[in-house]
Every structure is written in C-alpha cells, then in structure tokens.
Amino acid sequence: MTTTSTPLADEIAARLTAALRPTALDVINDSHHHAGHSGDDGTGESHWTVVVESAAFVGLNRVARQRLVNTALADLLATRIHALAMKTHAPGEA
C-alpha cells in the first residue's frame, strides 16, 4: 500500500482500510495541481485520488463501489476533502 504522508492521507487510509480491508490502496494528494483554484483551502490537503482494490467490490458496479468509499469518508468529504477521484477494483481486475 502506498500513501502520501500527511495527517489527512493517514486518516483516509485508515478509514478505507477499516471499511474495505483493501488488498491494495494508494492515497494520492493532488492538491498541488489545484493551488489557487476554487476549493483550495490553503491546507494543501483538499484534492485527493484513491486507488482501492478490495474483495468488497466483487460483483458491484462502479457506482456501488464509489458509494462504499464515500460512506467510509463521509464526514471528511463534508468538511475537509473538496474533491475525491477514485479508481476501484476487485482483486484480479485491471
């Protein structure tokens, strides 16, 4: 598992790990690409990408998978995360 090392990245990783027991997880801070744009709160932790591989996604469509991620991060999405891109895979999917 690869994670950008910041307090919020650690929190995102911990929540996704607890909720989804991923076999692979990348938490990537994209905030530097959005500095000065709408939604940039100046913390350097506003825009994220997560790449998650989990058996919890087996048999689920893209929207259902995204809902699981959104549920795990719900209060962070409401307060600290402005934008979240996600790539979700079941084990064995490319």
pLDDT for res 8: 93
Place of tokens 């490319």: 94
pLDDT of 27 higher than 80:
yes
Place of tokens 């991923």: 22
Of 53, 57, 64, 34, which is closest to residue 94 (Cα–Cα)? 53
Q: How far, in Å, CA of 35 to CA of 89, rounded? A: 29
**Percent residues over pLDDT 90 in the chain:** 68
Q: How confident is the model at residue 14 (pLDDT cuts 50, 70, 90)?
A: very high
Q: How confident is the model at residue 43 (pLDDT cuts 50, 70, 90)?
A: low
Q: How far, in Å, CA of 92 to CA of 83, rounded? A: 28
Q: Are 22 and 52 in contact (CB under 8 A)?
A: yes
pLDDT for res 3: 58
Q: How confident is the model at residue 46 (pLDDT cuts 50, 70, 90)?
A: confident
pLDDT for res 37: 57
Of 71, 91, 93, 73, which is closest to residue 82 (Cα–Cα)? 73
Q: Are 1 and 26 in contact (CB under 8 A)?
A: yes
pLDDT for res 47: 80
Q: How far, in Å, CA of 65 to CA of 55, rounded? A: 11
pLDDT for res 5: 81
Give the pTM: 0.85
